[in-house]
Amino acid sequence: MKKNKTLVVALAAAALISALAGCGKSEDTLHMATKPMTEQYILGSMMKTLIEAETDLTVEMTEGVGGGTSNIQPAMEKGDFDFYPEYTGTGWNFVLKEDGLYDESMFEQLQAGYQQMGMRWTGMLGFNNTFGVAVTKDAAEQYGLNTYSDLAAAAPSLTFGAEYDFFERDDGYDALCETYGLSFHNTMDLDIGLKYDAIRQKKIDVMNIFTTDGQLASSDLVVLKDDKNLYPSYMCGFVVRDEVLQAHPELQQVFDLVAQSITDAEMAEMNYQVETEGKAPEEVAAAFLQQKGLMA
**CA 92 to chain centroid:** 14
- Boundary (domain end) residue, out of 165, 200, 223: 223
Task: State whether 123 and 239 are in the same domain.
Answer: yes
Same domain for 121 and 241, yes or no, is yes
Range of weakest confidence among 49-58, 115-124, 165-174, 239-248: 165-174
CB 94 within 8 Å of CB 45: no
Q: Is residue 94, in this structure, part of any structural domain at all?
A: yes
In the listed set 193, 223, 253, which residue is the last one of a domain according to the structure? 223
d(CA 50, CA 289): 8
Q: Does the residue 65 lie in any domain?
A: yes
Which of 203, 223, 243 corresponds to the end of one domain?
223
* Domains contained in the chain, number: 2
Say if residue 110 is in the same domain as residue 145.
no
Together in a domain, 110 and 244:
yes
pLDDT above 60: residue 53: yes
Same domain, 271 and 184: no
206, part of any domain: yes
Give the per-residue pLDDT at 26: 56
| CB crowding 117-155: b at 16 or more within 10 Å, else e | eebbbbbbbbbbbbbbbbbbeebbeebebeebbbbeebb
CB 270 within 8 A of CB 124: no
Rounded CA-CA distance 14/8 in Å is 10
The mean pLDDT value for 53-58 works out to 96
Quick one: 212 and 170 in the same domain?
Answer: yes
Q: Residue 227: pLDDT above 90?
A: yes
Residues 103 and 154 in one domain: no
At residue 44, the pLDDT reads 98
Asked whether residue 19 is assigned to any structural domain, the reply reads no
Amino acid identity for residue 103 in this structure: D
14-26 pLDDT, tens per residue? 333 334 334 444 5
User: Are 50 and 120 contained in the same domain?
Assistant: yes
pLDDT-wise least confident of 9-18, 61-70, 161-170, 204-213: 9-18
39 and 124 share one domain: yes
Q: What is the reported pLDDT for 21?
A: 38
> By C-alpha distance, which of 268, 148, 170 is closest to 160?
148
Q: State the amino acid at position 213 in one-letter form.
A: D
Q: Residue 192's pLDDT is what? A: 72
Q: Which pLDDT score, from 0 to 100, does residue 5 have?
A: 37
Residue 8, in any domain of the structure: no
**pLDDT digit string (tens) for 262-291?**
999 999 999 999 999 999 999 999 999 999
Query: pLDDT, tens digit, for every residue of 119-156?
Result: 999 999 999 999 999 999 999 999 999 999 999 999 99
Under the banding of pLDDT at 50, 70 and 90, the label for residue 3 is very low
Domain, as residue range, for 56: 28-128+234-291
DSSP letter string, 173-230: HHHHHHHHT---SEEEE--TTTHHHHHHTTS-SEEEEETT-GGGGG---EEPB-TT--
Domain assignment of residue 195, yes or no: yes
Q: What is the pLDDT of residue 193?
A: 75
pLDDT (tens digit, 9 = 90+) per residue, 88-106? 999 999 999 998 889 999 9
34 and 115, same structural domain?
yes
Q: How far apart are CA 211 and CA 150, in angstroms?
A: 19
- For residue 189, give the CATH number of its domain: 3.40.190.120
Query: What was the pLDDT predicted at 169?
Result: 78
pLDDT in tens, 172-226: 899 999 999 999 999 999 887 789 999 999 999 999 999 999 999 889 999 999 9
Residue 51 maps to a domain = yes
**CATH number of 124's domain:** 3.40.190.10
Q: Which residues contact 204 (CB under 8 A, 6 or more apart)?
A: 159, 160, 161, 188, 190, 195, 198
**What is d(CA 185, CA 160) in angstroms, rounded to the nearest whole number?**
8
Q: Which residues make beta-bridge pairs with 135?
A: 206, 222
Tell me whether residue 13 is in a domain. no
- Shared domain for 124 and 147, answered yes or no, is no
Shared domain for 247 and 124, answered yes or no, is: yes
